[in-house]
Every structure is written in C-alpha cells, then in structure tokens.
Amino acid sequence: YSQVSGVLPLDALPRLDTGPGMAPLGVVRCQLENSVSGRVQLVLNSARGLTLWKDGVPVEVHDQVLLDLAPGQHILTFAVELSQRQEGLRCEVSEVPGSSARVQIVSGK
C-alpha cells in the first residue's frame, strides 16, 4: 500500500527474480478507466530505473508521460530496477489541457 504522500515504498513491491546474478525487479500494476478518448499525463516522482507498459505495449518513460487513451479500462504495468532506484514510486494521473479524456483509477476490492 502507498503512504499518505502517495509514494509506494520499494519494500512493498512484489519481487520478480530475473535469473542468477541479476538483481530482482519490483513490479506494480494499476488500472485506469477512461470514459472519453483523449490524452492524460502521468507525473512520476522519477523515471529512474522504471520500465512502463500500457496494455502490454512498451511506453517510453520520462518524469512526465503522455498517454493516448481510448474509452475503457487500461492496465499500466511498471517494472522497477531496484538496484537503480533509491526512492519509492509515485505516479499521479493529471489532466491535459484541451483533452476530453476523463480518467479514474480503478480501486481494489
């Protein structure tokens, strides 16, 4: 679970063993529900050590990431190279001026 600040601590991430002699990865996934096609922006506390996929398709990662979303649910998957990252992960979904997208984070059960 994330902290009040929205940061997900690295020690809270499930680990994926990538093989002998290789550092494990932390993996986290979330779902977004979009009602109208458009662009949204992900604002990350840092892109360092991150790999991102939207619906299984790789996305280039920067501190701010623009996503084009069709209506419906979308899965974001982050792989975190724990050997390259000292701080936890914080990802904020923000509106893009002029975009008609309406996105909500799908919460757990």
Q: At 91, which CATH number?
A: 2.60.120
Structural domain total, the chain: 1
Q: Evaluate whether 39 touches 101 at the Cβ level (below 8 Å).
A: yes
Q: Evaluate whether 33 touches 42 at the Cβ level (below 8 Å).
A: no
Per-residue pLDDT of the chain (109 residues; tens, 9 = 90+): 677 788 989 988 888 888 888 888 999 999 999 999 999 999 999 999 999 999 999 999 999 999 999 999 999 999 999 999 999 999 999 999 999 999 998 986 5
**2 within domain boundaries:** no
Q: Evaluate whether 80 touches 10 at the Cβ level (below 8 Å).
A: yes
**72 within domain boundaries:** yes
**61 within domain boundaries:** yes
CB count, 10 Å around CB of 12? 14
pTM of the model: 0.89
- For 63, the token pair is 């501190």
> What is the domain extent for residue 22?
10-106
**101 within domain boundaries:** yes
Whole-number Å distance between alpha carbons of 67 and 41: 6
